[in-house]
């Protein structure tokens, strides 16, 4: 059972504080970012699940939050030990202020660092289900690509200019249908880097049980 399933759907009770967070994956241009609304009583463990979903990661690696110089994450046997288990802390315990920033790191080998900024903290009394993604841009890199520098190198090999060269090469070699289909799928994966907020919110609704 996921952390999110334990939170009664995150249906905010009357007079519940809601945080608007902007999550930006550091080091990429064009930028990859998301804007999400979450209840302040969400735990760091639950926020981890939300970040994984809205960014497009698959939760295959360790993670940690860095808040005011302290590290918080999931303690696993043989892994780094953190100051406090993330699942035990809610965001309200930090009394985060508007415009305050903290960090989320995913995959300690690739070191994907996400800058998280509190854009707004507001009292809400409606019963709209949260969490919810309200804006975003760009697709996150593929898992296990090897970090920012490696990702940028590989992305350059699959650029629009390289696509033109590849199309020209098709005229100069015999075509195997299965091989061509695989190559086309790879090009589509790298060239279509759009972010679909509707798909993400559909996934978030599945966790709001």
Query: Residues 22-32: pLDDT tens digits?
Result: 999 999 988 99
Torsion angle (degrees, nearest 10) of CA 131, 134, 136, 140: 20
> What distance lies between CA 118 and its chain's CA centroid?
16
pLDDT of residue 188: 63
- pTM of the predicted model, to two decimals? 0.77
Q: Domain boundaries in the chain?
A: 4-139+193-207, 148-190
Omega of the bond prior to 131 within 30 degrees of 0, cis?
yes
Per residue in 98-148, pLDDT (tens digit) is: 999 999 999 999 999 999 999 999 998 774 689 999 999 998 888 888 889
**Cβ–Cβ under 8 Å, residues 40 and 26:** no
Distance CA 94, CA 141 (A): 30
Q: Residue 154 — very low, low, confident or very high, per pLDDT cuts 50/70/90?
A: confident
**Which of 35-39, 41-45, 150-154 is most confident?**
35-39
Options 3.40.630.10, 3.40.50.300, 2.40.240.10, 3.10.290.30; CATH for 4-139+193-207 is 3.10.290.30
């Amino acid at each position: 059972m996921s952390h999110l399933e334990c939170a009664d759907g995150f249906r905010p009770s009357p007079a519940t504080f809601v945080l608007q967070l902007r999550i930006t994956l550091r080091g990429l241009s064009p930028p990859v970012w998301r804007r999400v609304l979450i209840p302040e009583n969400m735990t760091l463990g639950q926020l981890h699940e939300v970040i994984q979903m809205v960014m497009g990661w698959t939760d295959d690696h360790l993670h940690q939050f860095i808040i005011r110089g302290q590290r918080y994450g999931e303690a696993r046997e043989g892994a780094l030990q953190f100051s406090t288990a993330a699942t035990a802390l809610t965001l309200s315990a930090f009394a985060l202020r508007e415009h305050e920033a903290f960090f989320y790191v995913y995959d300690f080998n690739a070191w994907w660092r996400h800058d998280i900024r509190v854009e707004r903290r507001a009292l809400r009394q409606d019963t709209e289900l949260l969490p919810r993604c309200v804006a975003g841009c760009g697709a996150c890199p593929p898992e296990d690509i090897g970090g920012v520098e490696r990702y940028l190198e590989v992305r350059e090999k699959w650029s629009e200019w390289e696509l033109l060269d590849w199309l020209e090469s098709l005229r100069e070699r015999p075509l195997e249908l299965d091989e061509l289909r695989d190559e086309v799928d790879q090009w589509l994966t790298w060239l279509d880097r759009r972010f679909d907020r509707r798909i993400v919110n559909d996934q978030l609704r599945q966790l709001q049980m």
